[in-house]
Structure 1
Protein backbone atom coordinates (compact mmCIF):
# COMPACT_ATOMS: atom_id res chain seq x y z
CA UNK A 1 0.00 0.00 0.00
CA UNK A 2 1.54 3.36 -0.95
CA UNK A 3 2.56 5.52 2.01
CA UNK A 4 0.01 8.26 1.12
CA UNK A 5 -2.88 5.75 1.14
CA UNK A 6 -1.71 4.24 4.45
CA UNK A 7 -1.64 7.69 6.07
CA UNK A 8 -5.15 8.47 4.77
CA UNK A 9 -6.43 5.17 6.21
CA UNK A 10 -4.87 5.88 9.61
CA UNK A 11 -6.34 9.40 9.69
CA UNK A 12 -9.81 8.15 8.74
CA UNK A 13 -9.75 5.62 11.59
CA UNK A 14 -8.52 8.15 14.14
CA UNK A 15 -11.23 10.62 13.16
CA UNK A 16 -13.96 7.98 13.67
CA UNK A 17 -15.11 8.69 10.14
CA UNK A 18 -14.86 7.02 6.77
CA UNK A 19 -15.69 7.98 3.19
CA UNK A 20 -18.93 6.64 1.79
CA UNK A 21 -17.89 3.99 -0.75
CA UNK A 22 -17.41 5.61 -4.14
CA UNK A 23 -18.65 8.99 -2.93
CA UNK A 24 -15.78 11.23 -1.89
CA UNK A 25 -18.26 14.04 -1.40
CA UNK A 26 -19.50 12.44 1.86
CA UNK A 27 -17.71 11.39 5.03
CA UNK A 28 -19.54 8.92 7.28
CA UNK A 29 -19.21 9.57 10.98
CA UNK A 30 -19.31 6.69 13.47
CA UNK A 31 -20.66 8.28 16.65
CA UNK A 32 -20.46 6.99 20.18
CA UNK A 33 -23.80 8.51 21.17
CA UNK A 34 -24.35 9.65 24.77
CA UNK A 35 -27.69 10.46 26.41
CA UNK A 36 -28.10 13.84 28.14
CA UNK A 37 -31.28 15.28 29.65
CA UNK A 38 -32.34 18.44 31.44
CA UNK A 39 -31.91 16.57 34.74
CA UNK A 40 -28.33 17.91 34.73
CA UNK A 41 -29.90 21.31 35.53
CA UNK A 42 -32.85 20.23 37.67
CA UNK A 43 -35.37 19.34 34.95
CA UNK A 44 -37.46 16.19 34.96
CA UNK A 45 -37.52 15.11 31.31
CA UNK A 46 -36.92 11.38 30.91
CA UNK A 47 -35.69 9.26 28.06
CA UNK A 48 -33.03 6.94 26.74
CA UNK A 49 -31.03 6.02 23.70
CA UNK A 50 -30.97 2.50 22.36
CA UNK A 51 -29.49 0.60 19.44
CA UNK A 52 -32.39 -0.73 17.36
CA UNK A 53 -33.28 -2.12 13.94
CA UNK A 54 -36.15 -0.22 12.30
CA UNK A 55 -37.46 -1.09 8.85
CA UNK A 56 -34.31 -3.11 8.22
CA UNK A 57 -31.84 -0.39 9.26
CA UNK A 58 -29.59 -0.38 12.30
CA UNK A 59 -29.98 2.91 14.13
CA UNK A 60 -29.62 4.73 17.41
CA UNK A 61 -32.96 5.84 18.79
CA UNK A 62 -33.66 8.74 21.15
CA UNK A 63 -37.00 8.29 22.89
CA UNK A 64 -38.65 9.81 25.92
CA UNK A 65 -40.82 12.52 27.36
CA UNK A 66 -39.80 16.17 27.28
CA UNK A 67 -41.14 18.11 30.27
CA UNK A 68 -40.97 21.83 30.99
CA UNK A 69 -41.28 21.26 34.77
CA UNK A 70 -38.48 22.70 36.95
CA UNK A 71 -37.26 24.89 34.05
CA UNK A 72 -36.39 21.82 32.00
CA UNK A 73 -37.23 21.01 28.46
CA UNK A 74 -34.87 18.67 26.60
CA UNK A 75 -33.51 15.21 25.99
CA UNK A 76 -30.54 14.71 23.72
CA UNK A 77 -28.21 12.22 22.12
CA UNK A 78 -24.80 13.68 21.30
CA UNK A 79 -21.24 12.68 20.47
CA UNK A 80 -17.77 14.19 20.30
CA UNK A 81 -16.07 14.05 16.91
CA UNK A 82 -12.72 13.21 18.49
CA UNK A 83 -12.13 10.84 21.40
CA UNK A 84 -9.76 13.21 23.18
CA UNK A 85 -12.00 16.32 23.24
CA UNK A 86 -10.02 17.82 20.35
CA UNK A 87 -11.56 19.72 17.46
CA UNK A 88 -12.34 18.42 14.00
CA UNK A 89 -11.69 20.60 10.95
CA UNK A 90 -14.94 20.45 8.95
CA UNK A 91 -14.14 23.54 6.87
CA UNK A 92 -13.88 21.46 3.68
CA UNK A 93 -17.47 20.32 4.08
CA UNK A 94 -20.77 22.08 3.36
CA UNK A 95 -22.81 20.60 6.21
CA UNK A 96 -24.28 17.56 7.92
CA UNK A 97 -26.44 14.88 6.35
CA UNK A 98 -28.53 12.49 8.46
CA UNK A 99 -30.66 9.45 7.70
CA UNK A 100 -33.54 9.81 10.13
CA UNK A 101 -36.86 8.22 11.07
CA UNK A 102 -39.21 9.69 13.63
CA UNK A 103 -42.71 10.49 14.73
CA UNK A 104 -43.31 13.53 12.55
CA UNK A 105 -42.12 15.96 15.23
CA UNK A 106 -39.56 18.76 15.05
CA UNK A 107 -36.10 18.18 16.50
CA UNK A 108 -32.91 20.21 16.58
CA UNK A 109 -29.38 19.39 15.62
CA UNK A 110 -26.82 21.35 17.58
CA UNK A 111 -23.14 21.87 16.96
CA UNK A 112 -20.52 22.87 19.47
CA UNK A 113 -17.01 24.19 18.92
CA UNK A 114 -14.13 24.60 21.31
CA UNK A 115 -14.91 28.34 21.36
CA UNK A 116 -18.05 27.80 23.46
CA UNK A 117 -17.48 27.73 27.21
CA UNK A 118 -21.04 27.31 28.55
CA UNK A 119 -23.07 24.10 28.09
CA UNK A 120 -26.14 26.03 26.84
CA UNK A 121 -24.21 27.65 23.97
CA UNK A 122 -24.41 26.06 20.53
CA UNK A 123 -25.19 26.50 16.85
CA UNK A 124 -28.54 25.00 15.94
CA UNK A 125 -31.08 24.30 13.26
CA UNK A 126 -34.35 22.36 13.23
CA UNK A 127 -35.63 19.47 11.15
CA UNK A 128 -38.75 17.32 10.99
CA UNK A 129 -38.21 13.60 11.63
CA UNK A 130 -40.66 12.06 9.15
CA UNK A 131 -42.41 8.75 9.79
CA UNK A 132 -40.42 7.16 6.95
CA UNK A 133 -36.64 6.97 6.56
CA UNK A 134 -35.49 10.27 5.09
CA UNK A 135 -32.09 11.74 4.27
CA UNK A 136 -31.86 15.36 5.39
CA UNK A 137 -29.09 17.80 4.47
CA UNK A 138 -28.37 20.58 6.94
CA UNK A 139 -25.93 23.14 5.50
CA UNK A 140 -23.62 24.82 8.01
CA UNK A 141 -25.01 28.14 6.76
CA UNK A 142 -28.43 27.18 8.27
CA UNK A 143 -27.04 26.89 11.81
CA UNK A 144 -27.66 29.94 13.99
CA UNK A 145 -25.77 30.89 17.16
CA UNK A 146 -27.62 30.13 20.38
CA UNK A 147 -26.68 32.22 23.43
CA UNK A 148 -23.33 33.22 21.94
CA UNK A 149 -21.98 36.04 19.79
CA UNK A 150 -19.15 33.86 18.49
CA UNK A 151 -19.66 33.01 14.80
CA UNK A 152 -19.61 29.34 13.84
CA UNK A 153 -16.15 28.19 12.73
CA UNK A 154 -16.28 24.73 11.13
CA UNK A 155 -12.52 24.36 11.64
CA UNK A 156 -13.23 24.07 15.37
CA UNK A 157 -16.13 21.60 15.42
CA UNK A 158 -16.16 19.41 18.53
CA UNK A 159 -19.62 17.96 19.24
CA UNK A 160 -22.89 17.15 17.44
CA UNK A 161 -26.22 16.58 19.18
CA UNK A 162 -29.80 15.65 18.25
CA UNK A 163 -32.34 17.20 20.65
CA UNK A 164 -36.00 17.02 21.51
CA UNK A 165 -36.39 20.51 22.91
CA UNK A 166 -38.51 23.36 24.15
CA UNK A 167 -42.02 21.99 24.58
CA UNK A 168 -43.76 19.06 26.23
CA UNK A 169 -44.01 16.07 23.90
CA UNK A 170 -43.11 12.43 23.33
CA UNK A 171 -39.80 12.25 21.49
CA UNK A 172 -39.01 9.37 19.17
CA UNK A 173 -36.28 9.87 16.60
CA UNK A 174 -33.80 7.37 15.15
CA UNK A 175 -30.59 8.07 13.23
CA UNK A 176 -29.14 5.31 11.05
CA UNK A 177 -26.31 7.43 9.59
CA UNK A 178 -24.74 10.82 10.08
CA UNK A 179 -22.14 12.24 7.76
CA UNK A 180 -20.50 15.37 6.44
CA UNK A 181 -21.17 16.32 2.83
CA UNK A 182 -19.62 18.66 0.26
Structure 2
Protein backbone atom coordinates (compact mmCIF):
# COMPACT_ATOMS: atom_id res chain seq x y z
CA UNK A 1 0.00 0.00 0.00
CA UNK A 2 1.21 3.49 -0.74
CA UNK A 3 2.57 5.48 2.16
CA UNK A 4 3.55 9.12 1.70
CA UNK A 5 3.52 9.97 5.39
CA UNK A 6 6.21 12.03 7.03
CA UNK A 7 6.92 15.66 7.74
CA UNK A 8 7.28 17.87 4.71
CA UNK A 9 10.73 19.11 3.84
CA UNK A 10 11.80 22.56 4.97
CA UNK A 11 11.31 25.52 2.69
CA UNK A 12 14.86 26.85 2.63
CA UNK A 13 15.48 25.66 -0.93
CA UNK A 14 12.25 27.07 -2.28
CA UNK A 15 12.56 30.82 -1.88
CA UNK A 16 10.24 32.75 -4.22
CA UNK A 17 11.90 35.01 -6.81
CA UNK A 18 10.87 38.17 -8.56
CA UNK A 19 9.79 37.79 -12.19
CA UNK A 20 7.96 34.99 -13.91
CA UNK A 21 10.20 34.34 -16.93
CA UNK A 22 11.34 30.81 -17.58
CA UNK A 23 14.94 30.06 -16.59
CA UNK A 24 17.49 30.34 -19.38
CA UNK A 25 18.06 26.92 -21.00
CA UNK A 26 15.09 25.54 -19.09
CA UNK A 27 13.51 22.20 -20.02
CA UNK A 28 9.76 22.76 -19.87
CA UNK A 29 7.90 19.76 -18.45
CA UNK A 30 4.45 21.34 -18.64
CA UNK A 31 2.74 24.68 -19.19
CA UNK A 32 -0.74 23.07 -19.03
CA UNK A 33 -1.87 24.30 -22.43
CA UNK A 34 -2.75 20.74 -23.45
CA UNK A 35 -5.74 19.66 -21.32
CA UNK A 36 -4.84 15.96 -21.42
CA UNK A 37 -1.05 15.55 -21.63
CA UNK A 38 2.12 17.19 -20.35
CA UNK A 39 4.91 18.32 -22.68
CA UNK A 40 6.43 14.89 -22.01
CA UNK A 41 3.35 13.09 -23.31
CA UNK A 42 2.32 11.75 -19.90
CA UNK A 43 -0.74 12.73 -17.84
CA UNK A 44 -1.16 14.19 -14.35
CA UNK A 45 -3.21 12.37 -11.71
CA UNK A 46 -4.48 13.12 -8.21
CA UNK A 47 -3.71 10.70 -5.36
CA UNK A 48 -4.44 10.78 -1.63
CA UNK A 49 -3.82 8.56 1.37
CA UNK A 50 -7.13 6.84 0.66
CA UNK A 51 -5.04 4.31 -1.29
CA UNK A 52 -3.69 3.17 2.11
CA UNK A 53 -6.86 3.53 4.16
CA UNK A 54 -6.60 7.22 5.08
CA UNK A 55 -9.37 9.77 4.75
CA UNK A 56 -7.59 12.70 3.06
CA UNK A 57 -9.03 13.96 -0.23
CA UNK A 58 -7.25 15.11 -3.37
CA UNK A 59 -8.81 16.72 -6.43
CA UNK A 60 -7.22 18.34 -9.45
CA UNK A 61 -8.77 20.76 -11.89
CA UNK A 62 -7.60 23.16 -14.57
CA UNK A 63 -8.04 26.91 -14.61
CA UNK A 64 -7.21 29.83 -16.90
CA UNK A 65 -6.22 32.87 -14.84
CA UNK A 66 -4.24 36.03 -15.59
CA UNK A 67 -3.60 34.75 -19.10
CA UNK A 68 -2.14 31.48 -17.79
CA UNK A 69 -3.29 27.90 -17.97
CA UNK A 70 -2.74 26.05 -14.70
CA UNK A 71 -3.39 22.80 -12.89
CA UNK A 72 -4.61 22.99 -9.30
CA UNK A 73 -4.48 20.59 -6.36
CA UNK A 74 -7.32 20.93 -3.86
CA UNK A 75 -8.17 18.75 -0.92
CA UNK A 76 -8.19 18.17 2.80
CA UNK A 77 -5.25 16.44 4.48
CA UNK A 78 -6.12 14.42 7.59
CA UNK A 79 -3.83 12.43 9.87
CA UNK A 80 -6.63 10.00 10.76
CA UNK A 81 -6.15 6.29 10.02
CA UNK A 82 -2.38 6.83 9.72
CA UNK A 83 -2.85 9.02 6.67
CA UNK A 84 -1.58 12.46 5.87
CA UNK A 85 -1.10 13.41 2.21
CA UNK A 86 -2.75 14.68 -0.97
CA UNK A 87 -0.87 15.13 -4.21
CA UNK A 88 -0.84 15.54 -7.96
CA UNK A 89 1.92 13.67 -9.76
CA UNK A 90 3.30 13.05 -13.24
CA UNK A 91 5.33 10.22 -14.72
CA UNK A 92 8.37 11.82 -16.33
CA UNK A 93 8.73 9.22 -19.08
CA UNK A 94 6.38 6.71 -20.62
CA UNK A 95 9.16 4.13 -21.03
CA UNK A 96 12.30 3.96 -18.93
CA UNK A 97 13.97 6.72 -16.89
CA UNK A 98 14.35 10.40 -17.70
CA UNK A 99 17.88 11.85 -17.58
CA UNK A 100 18.03 15.35 -16.05
CA UNK A 101 21.73 15.17 -15.14
CA UNK A 102 22.53 18.25 -17.23
CA UNK A 103 20.28 20.40 -15.06
CA UNK A 104 20.60 22.07 -11.67
CA UNK A 105 17.08 21.79 -10.28
CA UNK A 106 13.33 22.12 -10.72
CA UNK A 107 11.51 25.38 -11.30
CA UNK A 108 7.81 26.03 -10.97
CA UNK A 109 5.50 29.02 -11.18
CA UNK A 110 2.89 28.59 -8.47
CA UNK A 111 0.33 30.26 -6.30
CA UNK A 112 -1.61 28.91 -3.34
CA UNK A 113 -3.06 29.50 0.09
CA UNK A 114 0.24 30.34 1.80
CA UNK A 115 0.78 26.82 3.16
CA UNK A 116 4.00 24.82 2.82
CA UNK A 117 4.13 22.10 0.17
CA UNK A 118 6.70 19.57 -1.00
CA UNK A 119 7.95 18.58 -4.41
CA UNK A 120 8.79 14.87 -4.51
CA UNK A 121 10.97 13.11 -7.05
CA UNK A 122 11.01 9.38 -7.57
CA UNK A 123 13.72 7.39 -9.33
CA UNK A 124 14.13 3.73 -10.16
CA UNK A 125 15.78 3.41 -6.72
CA UNK A 126 12.52 4.36 -4.95
CA UNK A 127 11.10 0.85 -5.09
CA UNK A 128 8.73 1.27 -2.12
CA UNK A 129 5.73 3.62 -2.30
CA UNK A 130 6.82 5.72 0.70
CA UNK A 131 10.32 6.39 -0.65
CA UNK A 132 11.06 9.69 -2.41
CA UNK A 133 13.42 12.66 -2.61
CA UNK A 134 11.82 15.80 -1.17
CA UNK A 135 12.24 19.57 -1.23
CA UNK A 136 9.83 22.05 0.31
CA UNK A 137 8.50 25.47 -0.67
CA UNK A 138 5.99 27.98 0.64
CA UNK A 139 3.08 28.82 -1.64
CA UNK A 140 2.25 32.46 -2.32
CA UNK A 141 -1.02 34.28 -3.07
CA UNK A 142 0.27 35.58 -6.43
CA UNK A 143 2.02 33.76 -9.26
CA UNK A 144 5.62 33.34 -8.12
CA UNK A 145 8.60 31.51 -9.57
CA UNK A 146 10.31 29.05 -7.22
CA UNK A 147 13.59 27.23 -7.88
CA UNK A 148 14.39 23.98 -6.06
CA UNK A 149 18.04 22.95 -6.54
CA UNK A 150 18.57 19.20 -6.83
CA UNK A 151 21.15 19.56 -4.05
CA UNK A 152 18.32 20.47 -1.64
CA UNK A 153 16.31 17.29 -2.22
CA UNK A 154 16.44 15.03 0.83
CA UNK A 155 16.03 11.24 0.56
CA UNK A 156 13.06 9.94 2.55
CA UNK A 157 13.28 6.37 3.87
CA UNK A 158 16.15 5.36 1.61
CA UNK A 159 19.92 5.80 1.66
CA UNK A 160 20.80 6.13 -2.02
CA UNK A 161 21.69 9.62 -3.29
CA UNK A 162 19.45 11.18 -5.91
CA UNK A 163 20.36 9.74 -9.33
CA UNK A 164 19.40 12.38 -11.89
CA UNK A 165 19.90 9.96 -14.76
CA UNK A 166 17.03 7.73 -13.60
CA UNK A 167 14.13 10.04 -12.73
CA UNK A 168 10.72 8.41 -12.80
CA UNK A 169 8.04 10.70 -11.34
CA UNK A 170 7.44 14.23 -10.01
CA UNK A 171 4.78 15.08 -7.44
CA UNK A 172 3.42 18.23 -5.79
CA UNK A 173 2.36 17.19 -2.31
CA UNK A 174 0.52 18.50 0.74
CA UNK A 175 1.82 16.24 3.49
CA UNK A 176 2.50 15.62 7.14
CA UNK A 177 -0.10 17.75 8.91
CA UNK A 178 -3.83 18.42 8.85
CA UNK A 179 -4.39 21.18 6.30
CA UNK A 180 -6.45 22.48 3.42
CA UNK A 181 -4.58 22.04 0.15
CA UNK A 182 -4.95 24.82 -2.41
CA UNK A 183 -2.05 24.95 -4.86
CA UNK A 184 -1.97 25.84 -8.56
CA UNK A 185 1.01 25.54 -10.90
CA UNK A 186 1.20 27.17 -14.33
CA UNK A 187 4.69 26.01 -15.37
CA UNK A 188 7.09 23.35 -14.17
CA UNK A 189 10.43 22.32 -15.60
CA UNK A 190 14.14 21.72 -15.06
CA UNK A 191 16.66 24.57 -15.12
CA UNK A 192 20.39 24.50 -15.92
CA UNK A 193 21.58 27.53 -13.99
CA UNK A 194 20.43 30.32 -11.70
CA UNK A 195 19.89 32.92 -14.41
CA UNK A 196 16.36 34.10 -15.09
CA UNK A 197 15.32 35.46 -18.45
CA UNK A 198 13.51 34.70 -21.68
CA UNK A 199 13.73 31.33 -23.38
TM-score of the superposition, structure 2-length normalised?
0.78
Q: State the structure with bigger RCO (CA 8 A, min sep 6), 1 or 2.
A: 2
Is 1:136 the counterpart of 2:146? The answer is: yes
CA drift of 1:23 comes to 6.9
CA drift of 1:24 comes to 5.6
Structure 2, unpaired ranges of 5+: 1-21, 31-37, 193-199
Is 1:167 the counterpart of 2:177? The answer is: yes
Structure 1, unpaired ranges of 5+: 1-21
Give, in whole Å, the separation in 2 of the partners of 1:62 and 1:75: 8
CA deviations over 1:40-68 (Å, ceiling 9, x no partner): 11100012001112333110000010011
Give, in whole Å, the separation in 1 of the partners of 2:55 and 2:67: 33
Give, in whole Å, the separation in 2 of the partners of 1:77 and 1:166: 15
| 1:110 matched residue in structure 2 | 120
Higher helix share: 1
| 1:5 matched residue in structure 2 | none
| 1:66 matched residue in structure 2 | 77
| 2:130 matched residue in structure 1 | 120
Match of 1:37 among 39, 44, 48: 48
Instruction: Indicate the structure (1 or 2) with the bigger Cα radius of gyration.
Output: 1
- What SS does the aligned partner of 2:126 have? coil
